[in-house]
Chain A
Amino acid sequence: MLLVATGLLAVLLQTSLMQHFPVIPDFLLILCVYLGINHRSVGGAAAAFFLGYSLDSCSGAPVGTNAFAMSLVFATVSAIARQLWLYNPASILSMVFLGVVLKTGAVLLLTDFGRFAELIQPTIARYVVWDATVAMLLTPVVFTILYRGELADHEG
């Protein structure tokens, strides 16, 4: 329930309030990485898909674009989390960075497949650094809120 509410809030923030900021913090991506690390389940995969789908629907992007990107990020992070112990800040931040790169690449691939090879390098140079920096700065806050929320949920 907490994750659903957080997801909706994140979609809401990202498609309305955050539009005023020069760099839009990708809360959905951080949430997706959180799901990939802590909820490696069918529910987690579905949640990641629906997060991306919601973003597509609410932002006006071609439906399926962000859904694919989020599913890809979830699949990659959960696959790594199965093999490696990721419960430390450095690993989590690395996963977020990787998530930003994967998401940018996936969106670019689906929206401009023909010029993917030509655009990937300048796009990463231009957007990924900023997006990743902002996302990594926000990750500790989002993760702490989610951890505490879930802990309280279990105890309650």
Chain B
Amino acid sequence: MFRFFHRYRVVLSCAFFLLVSLGLAAVNRRAAYPIDPVGVVLLEVMHPLQVGVTAVSNYVGIAWDRYVALQSVREENEQLRKRVKELEQRDKYAKELVRANERLGKLLEFEQRLHGLGQTTIAASIVGRSPSAWVKTVVLDRGSTQGVSKGMAVLSPEGVVGQVVATTPSTARVLLVADINSAIDGLLSTSRTHGIVSGSRDGECTLKYVARLDEVIVGDTVLTTGQDGIFPRDQVIGIVERVGAQDGGMFQDVEVKLSVDLAKVEEVLVVAPGTVQAAE
């Protein structure tokens, strides 16, 4: 008998536990108060552990959710930064287009006004500037092929820019009005006093050869005379900024502030020598 139990102890124990569990399941399925003798002890032991593990897992779950949310916020942030950069670039481009449009509009208006006066003009863009501080010249993108020739006047809607001093088939070099070698016949708009507008090494312009007794008012406009056969008459060169008498000299020192910002001008009109007429 003992040998039988010993030999089949595993099978018998399996059968025993199956029957016990089946019995428990059968009883507990219908019972109002489940029979769970070990469960109370087991639950008491496991409860604190379950609470601890659940709390930790909940904490980890929340932390993970926050981390994932943070990641998506970071990605969104990067995308938005990219978008902002893109839009900023577009905005700059659009503003640049608006400015170019305004400049070109003014130039067109100026060109039409000159055409109305019988002047032949060639629109050009400045594509290069003199690298030397001593020589103030610019290079235009129009040359002899387009009709530009040496001696032509270069104007912008704001006023006189300079004079063409050399050409190639596709470019032209312009001596700016602020260069020391530039000399333009000018007159004061109020007193009609004549003089020669010339540049200097430091970029300032002066109206030379104005007699001591001639009336010169600060703020008066300096215009072209049209008598040099190069610049159309009454084109603005600048305004009188300062007047000073030369010690013991015959003439006055008249400093002229140019109406054109030569460092910023981009589009110009090359005007062929023609009939001397007032642009205004």
Report B225-246 CB contacts with A as 1/0, cut-off 8 Å. 0000000000000000000000
Cross-chain contact A65 with B25 (CB below 8 angstroms)? yes
B46 at the interface (CB under 8 A from A): yes
Taking A11-B46, A15-B50 as contacts, is the C-beta distance between A20 and B61 under 8 angstroms? yes
Question: How close is B40's CB to chain A, nearest CB, in angstroms?
Answer: 8
Q: Is the CB of B10 within 8 A of A16?
A: no
Q: Give Cα A11–Cα B46 distance, bound, in whole angstroms.
A: 9
Whether a CB of chain B sits under 8 angstroms from the CB of A62 is yes
Q: Is A12 an interface residue (CB 8 A)?
A: yes
Smallest distance from the beta carbon of A61 to chain B beta carbons, Å? 9
Stretch of B31-39, B175-183, B266-274 on the interface side: B31-39
List chain B residues, Cβ under 8 A from A56. Answer: 36, 39
**Which residue of chain A has the shortest Cβ distance to B41 in the bound complex?**
A57
Residues from chain A with Cβ under 8 Å of B50 in the complex: 12, 15-16, 58
- From B10, B34, B38, contact of A53 by CB (8 A): B38
Among A43-51, A89-97, A125-133, A134-142, the stretch in contact with B: A43-51
> B21 near A58 (CB under 8 angstroms)?
no
Nearest-CB residue, chain A, relative to B50: A16
**Does more than half of chain A's interface fall in helix, strand or loop, or is it mixed?**
helix
**Complex interface: chain B residues within 8 A of A62 (CB):** 25, 28-29, 34
Q: How far is the CA of A16 from the CA of B205 in the complex (A)?
A: 90
B23 partner residues in chain A, CB cutoff 8 A? 64
0/1 string, B5-49, CB within 8 A of A gives 1? 000011101111110111111111100001110110011001001
Could you tell me the distance between the alpha carbons of A25 and B72 in the complex, rounded to whole angstroms?
A: 29
Q: In the complex, A127→B258 CA distance in Å? A: 89
In the bound complex, what is the Cα–Cα distance between A45 and B17 (angstroms)? 7
Instruction: Tell whether A102 is near chain B: CB-to-CB under 8 Å.
Output: no
Q: A57-B39, A63-B36 are in contact. Are A110 and B13 (CB under 8 A)?
A: no
A54 touches B21 (CB 8 A): no
Q: What residues of A have a CB within 8 angstroms of the CB of B24 in the complex?
A: 63-64, 67-68
B-side contacts of A74, CB under 8 Å: 14
Whether A99 sits at the interface, judged by CB under 8 Å, is no
The size class of the interface chain B forms with chain A is 20 to 34
Select which of A20, A58, A67, A71 is within 8 A of B14 by beta carbon. Answer: A71
Q: Does B130 contact A (CB under 8 A)?
A: no
The answer for the CA separation of A57 and B46 in the assembled complex, in Å, is 10
Q: Do residues B17 and A67 form an inter-chain contact, with CB atoms below 8 A?
A: yes
State the Cβ distance, A112 to closest chain B Cβ, in Å: 10
Residue of chain A at shortest CB distance from B26: A64
Residue of A nearest to B25 (CB): A64
Q: From residue 1 to 56 of chain A, which have CB atoms closer than 8 A to chain B?
A: 8, 11-13, 15-17, 19-20, 40-42, 44-46, 48-50, 52-54, 56
Q: Chain B residues with Cβ under 8 A from A108's Cβ?
A: none
* Distance from B236 Cβ to chain A, minimum over Cβ atoms (Å): 81
> Known contacts A57-B43, A64-B28, A74-B14: does B9 contact A12 (CB below 8 Å)?
no
- Least Cβ–Cβ distance between B48 and chain A, in angstroms: 11
Q: Is B53 part of the contact surface with A, judged by Cβ < 8 Å?
A: yes
A100 in the interface (beta carbon within 8 A): no
**B58 nearest in chain A by CB position:** A20
- Partner pick for B38 among A11, A57, A75, CB 8 A cutoff: A57
What are 22 A-B pairs at a CB distance below 8 A?
A8-B46, A11-B46, A12-B46, A13-B53, A15-B50, A16-B54, A16-B57, A20-B61, A49-B20, A49-B21, A53-B39, A54-B42, A57-B42, A58-B50, A62-B34, A63-B25, A63-B28, A64-B27, A71-B17, A71-B21, A74-B14, A75-B11
Q: Identify 7 new A-B residue pairs, CB closer than 8 A, beyond the known A63-B24, A74-B14.
A: A12-B49, A42-B13, A45-B13, A45-B14, A46-B17, A58-B46, A65-B25
Q: Mark A residues whose CB is within 8 Å of B.
A: 8, 11-13, 15-17, 19-20, 40-42, 44-46, 48-50, 52-54, 56-58, 62-65, 67-68, 71-72, 74-75, 78-79, 110-111
Q: Which 9 A-B pairs have the closest CB atoms?
A: A64-B24, A64-B25, A57-B39, A67-B21, A68-B21, A75-B14, A49-B17, A45-B13, A42-B13
